[in-house]
Amino acid sequence: MTTIKATGVRHGLLPVAVLAVLATGCGTHRPGDGIGADGPSRTTAATPGRPTDFPCPGESPSPTPSSAGATSGPATPPTDHYAENHGFMVPLPLHGRRRCDGLAAVEHIENALEPLRKRGDFDPASTRKALTHLGYSAGKVQSYQNGPTGVGFLIDASPLCVEGKMNRDSTRADAFGGYPDHSGCDQPSGGH
């Protein structure tokens, strides 16, 4: 009986011994050691990061930092989860060529609405008419009264969205790329 048990133990140790021999070789190869050490080194893959923006036509070589980077929130998440729960309401910033397209659209819109502002014409219908004359589809332009002497507007020019307001002091517009969990340019009212 002792012989059977000893044989059973010996057979049980064989797979353990084989695994131990194989495991000792694992993880010991380091970059630059042994085979291929004199060959060309591999380039590391670029880690995804923040998209880089380049100067757009008519813009200075060093663009102003976007407000999206400044509003990304604190390094540690808030304990009340407000930012997490309302992230669906934060517009997506534009980068690269789309950013340039957005800046051009904003300039075009502000220039078209400036004569209305100077005349004191803050009628949503006048604003809508001026925006549709720029080539935006009537079904994609919203205008609304914004206070007693102001008008707001929203243009769905997919893949761009342009939102702004005009009052007796200024005409302002801003381009963005929509919202994270929502199709369309209007601010979503409900999240996840």
What are 58-91's pLDDT values in tens digits? 776 654 444 444 344 445 555 667 767 667 778 8
Whether residue 135 is contained in a domain is answered as: yes
In sign, the C-alpha dihedral spanning 126, 131, 136, 141 is negative
**Mean pLDDT across 40-69:** 58
Whether residue 141 is contained in a domain is answered as: yes
Cβ neighbours of 110 (radius 10 Å): 17
Q: Indicate whether this model's pTM tops 0.75.
A: no
Whether residue 189 is contained in a domain is answered as: no
CA distance 155 to 19: 66
Across 17-21, 52-56, 97-101, the highest mean pLDDT is recorded for 97-101
103 confidence band (pLDDT: 50, 70, 90): very high
Whether residue 156 is contained in a domain is answered as: yes
Compare 122 and 45 and report the one with higher pLDDT: 122
10-22 pLDDT, tens digit per residue, is 555 555 555 554 5
What does 48-100 look like in DSSP terms, one character per residue? P-PPP--PPTTS-SSPPPPHHHHTS--SSPPTT-HHHHTGGGSPPPP-HHHHH
Compare 179 and 151 and report the one with higher pLDDT: 151
Its domain, for residue 132, covers 89-176
Whether residue 33 is contained in a domain is answered as: no
The pLDDT mean for the chain works out to 75
**Mean pLDDT across 138-166:** 94
Across 11-15, 38-42, 176-180, 183-187, the highest mean pLDDT is recorded for 176-180
CA distance 147 to 24: 75
pLDDT of 4: 53
39 confidence band (pLDDT: 50, 70, 90): very low
Domain count, the chain: 1
Whether residue 61 is contained in a domain is answered as: no
Amino acid sitting at position 97: R
Whether residue 66 is contained in a domain is answered as: no
| Strand 141-145 relative to strand 171-176, pairing | unpaired
Whether residue 21 is contained in a domain is answered as: no
Chain centroid to Cα 55, Å, comes to 19
